[in-house]
Amino acid sequence: MRVAGSTTAGNMTKTLFEKLWSDHEVARLEDGDSLVYIDRVFLHERTGSVALESLSSEGRVIRAPSRVFCSMDHIVDTLPGRGDETLVPNGKNFIQSTRQASRQAGIRLFDVNDSEQGIVHVVSPELGIVQPGCTLVCPDSHTCSQGALGALAWGIGSSQAEHAMATNTLVVKKPRTMRVTFNGQLPALVSAKDMILHLIARYTTAGGAGYAIEFAGEAVSALDVEARLTLCNMAVEFSAFTALIAPDEKVIDYLRGRTYAPGGANWEAAAAYWRSLHSDADASFDREIEVDCSQLAPFVSWGTSPQQACEVSGQVPVPDAGLEASDSTTLRKAFEYMDVQPGQALRELAIDGAFIGSCTNSRISDLREAAAILRGRQVASGVRAICVPGSQAVKREAEAEGLDQVFTAAGFEWREPGCSMCFYAGGEGFGAGQRVVSSTNRNFEGRQGPGVRSHLASPATVAASALAGRLADPREYLP
Amino acid sequence: MKQFTVHRGVAAPLLRVNVDTDAIIPSREMKLVSKHGLGEGLFAGWRYTAPGGREPEPQFVLNRPEYSGASILLSGRNFGCGSSREHAVWALAEYGIRAIVAPSFGVIFQGNCERNGILPVVLEDAAVQALAAEVAPDPQRCQVEIDLQQQRVLSPAGHSYGFDIASSSRQMLLQGLDQIGSTLQRLDEIEAFERELRQRRPWLFEL
């Protein structure tokens, strides 16, 4: 097995991940653990509230409150005219206790109707809080999204969030390195969402276990920053420790002038450093995967795990005879729960709901992609369609472009920013047995409500399916 | 934190892959800003007949009388994948689960277990299936023993399965260690690193 970070010539070459890791390694502990310095902590009202309360009840102090941020996204209602009241049972308590704890702790809170509020992984990049070369953690599994800007960002538990706030460090086992190179050019209306769904379907949800994954290659370079966030977002569904992408001029241009981006003389120094953040040409990875993007098609999930996905023109698979018992049980339960038959064409599946939103696909480019398909058309009758912008800033920008009008004219609800119906917390959900096509990241049993059948897809595929009233290929609606 | 040294108990099979944290504790069951009061919501979607209800689903393994009092779960690979919610582990702990035996775990979930006194044991699928088969005839009598000192699982019939665990995780569980406390003992080192990082990357500190 190759040892990452070394060459036969003896001079050390490094992967991007190793550069970020060594830049933040305070100490090596026993057994492959390191004490890693944490630059930024982000919280939300669902899991951050518990961490703040627990810290304060144990009398611990937050070392650097100016580098701790919190946004209201998980529980807050997304209905127009919202306040602290939510449909989530006891949701108001989470919101109010987060507000109070944030004030006491002196951390920056993006409150329910603040102009900067939104989903953590949408807000953090658009405010320039996450930056290339920084370490950022959040008690939220989709924190890996933020590696898209060349940061070392990963999801943690609440106890680790307390540790990070109290010590500015975490004890972490150094993951192995993997590079996934996406070659070629994506066909029209095939997106970053289709790339990541394809990768997980081909290499399974366990494919990235134990790895920090660098996404690279022509097709990744061609993605804008927002699409890169989508690609990295579902690294956790691939079981990766996290994902990251080397920052390029697109990232630097994206960050210039953002609220928390470096200013003044610091900007040039930071940008110069960011330009050095890439894997060395001869750096070696513990594992390499290559994907040809030129043949990719829109993907959609058919089961209850993100790996149970295929091209939207495809069929529900017929199980192999030689499967292990736990696998065939899982497969049978997935068919049953999703009410699909082996061999059934996905495009035959009629839908009841369509959802565009979440930390995966709720940014302005996602909304534009969906709106381009919806413009001048109508959602099929009987389909409940909802669009939830990822942040107040996305919402403002969309409204300035008139996208809200496109969505509402087509029959979509237009909501306030938040995680919304990506997951069911006892408040809003689609009804039991309903089939929903969703631009989100998890199609687990009950994720969007008890008995709800979720099909993951890109915003374009969700929009096309909403129009067709069944799972549909967005290319059927090419302008 | 509760220590883990040796534990012997009823082992319940939940032999499917990718048991996610939404299944372990549905978001709708996380009702309080607290680490407590979650045990009742454990596996709520499978354990009760109706969402939000409390009528036990008789087929669900933890509701079957032969597995009552189960403190060990046997499951398929990628157990605890999905959402980072530590509530999943708090719910398992409050219910009385002390160890989970599976071929692999979601990485955040695995760390959360170790910080809350639950031992995640990695054994290959065949071994998990074999344990479940040995337990099945009489789960109350055919108990499983897990010894963290020795790093081995002892089946009811006396088969021994060794397992690996990071020594830091092992120490944390054996001693019931408070990790924040031990890291704070290195505060001087952290502060020295921080001063040096501030010199190199001043923009990281100016918000």
Over residues A185-210, the pLDDT tens digits come to: 999 999 999 999 999 999 999 999 99
pLDDT in tens, A53-70: 999 999 999 999 999 999
Residue of B76, B129, B167 with shortest CB distance to A31: B167
**Average pLDDT for A135-147:** 98
Please check the confidence at residue A309 and state whether its pLDDT lies above 60: yes
Report DSSP state, residue B105. Answer: B
Distance between B177 CA and the closest CA of chain A, angstroms: 13
Q: Which of A11-20, A333-342, B125-134 has the lowest mean pLDDT?
A: A11-20
- What pLDDT, on a 0 to 100 scale, did the predictor assign at position A5? 44
Q: What whole-number distance in Å separates Cα of residue A75 and Cα of residue A91?
A: 6
- Please report the ipTM that was assigned to this predicted complex: 0.93
Q: Report how many Cβ contacts below 8 Å link chain A to chain B.
A: 197
pLDDT in tens, B25-82: 999 999 999 999 999 999 999 999 998 899 999 999 999 999 999 999 999 999 999 9
Q: What whole-number distance in Å separates Cα of residue A32 and Cα of residue A42?
A: 26
Q: What sign has the CA pseudo-torsion A243, B26, A122, A161?
A: negative
Q: What whole-number distance in Å separates Cα of residue B187 and Cα of residue A166?
A: 10
CB contact under 8 A, A47 and B52: no
Q: What whole-number distance in Å separates Cα of residue A459 and Cα of residue B89?
A: 33
- What pLDDT, on a 0 to 100 scale, did the predictor assign at position A6? 41
Q: What whole-number distance in Å separates Cα of residue A266 and Cα of residue B161?
A: 56
Supply the pTM of this predicted model.
0.95
- What pLDDT, on a 0 to 100 scale, did the predictor assign at position B141? 98
- Could you identify the residue written with the tokens 């997304």? A78
Q: What whole-number distance in Å separates Cα of residue A359 and Cα of residue A22?
A: 29
- Could you identify the residue written with the tokens 């040892």? A3
- What pLDDT, on a 0 to 100 scale, did the predictor assign at position A7? 40
Q: What residues in A contact B168, CB-CB < 8 Å?
A: 29-31, 33, 171
Q: What residues in B contact A322, CB-CB < 8 Å?
A: none
Query: Strands B72-75 and B11-14, how do they pair?
Result: parallel
- What pLDDT, on a 0 to 100 scale, did the predictor assign at position A362? 98
Please check the confidence at residue A9 and state whether its pLDDT lies above 80: no
Radius of gyration of chain A from Cα atoms? Answer: 22
Residues of chain B with pLDDT under 70: none
Instruction: Name the percent of chain A lying above pLDDT 70.
Output: 97
When scoring B32, B84, B198 by the number of chain A Cβ atoms within 10 A, the one with the most, hence best to mutate, is: B84
For residues B77, A230, A203 and A341, what is the CA-based torsion angle, rounded to 10 degrees? 80
pLDDT in tens, A225-265: 999 999 999 999 999 999 999 999 999 999 999 999 999 99
Give the rounded distance of the alpha carbon of A96 from its chain centre.
26
Q: What sign has the CA pseudo-torsion A452, A446, A199, A248?
A: positive
Distance between B193 CA and the closest CA of chain A, angstroms: 6
Residue of A159, A333, A426 with shortest CB distance to B28: A426
Q: What residues in B contact A47, CB-CB < 8 Å?
A: 84-87
Distance between A330 CA and the closest CA of chain B, angstroms: 5
Residue of B18, B111, B186 with shortest CB distance to A205: B18
**Contact indicator for A146, A125 with CB cutoff of 8 Å:** yes
Q: What whole-number distance in Å separates Cα of residue A458 and Cα of residue A473?
A: 10
Q: What whole-number distance in Å separates Cα of residue A178 and Cα of residue A166?
A: 31
Residue B189, classified by CB atoms within 10 Å of its CB into exposed (0-12), middle (13-18) or buried (19+), is middle
Packing angle between helix B167-175 and helix B107-114, nearest 10 degrees?
Answer: 40
Q: What whole-number distance in Å separates Cα of residue A451 and Cα of residue A440?
A: 17
Residue of B31, B104, B125 with shortest CB distance to A209: B104
pLDDT in tens, A351-400: 999 999 999 999 999 999 999 999 999 999 999 999 999 999 999 999 99
Chain A touched by B38 (CB under 8 Å): no
Q: What residues in A contact B131, CB-CB < 8 Å?
A: none
**Contact indicator for A346, A429 with CB cutoff of 8 Å:** no
Q: What whole-number distance in Å separates Cα of residue B116 and Cα of residue B94?
A: 10
Q: What sign has the CA pseudo-torsion A465, A466, A467, A468?
A: positive
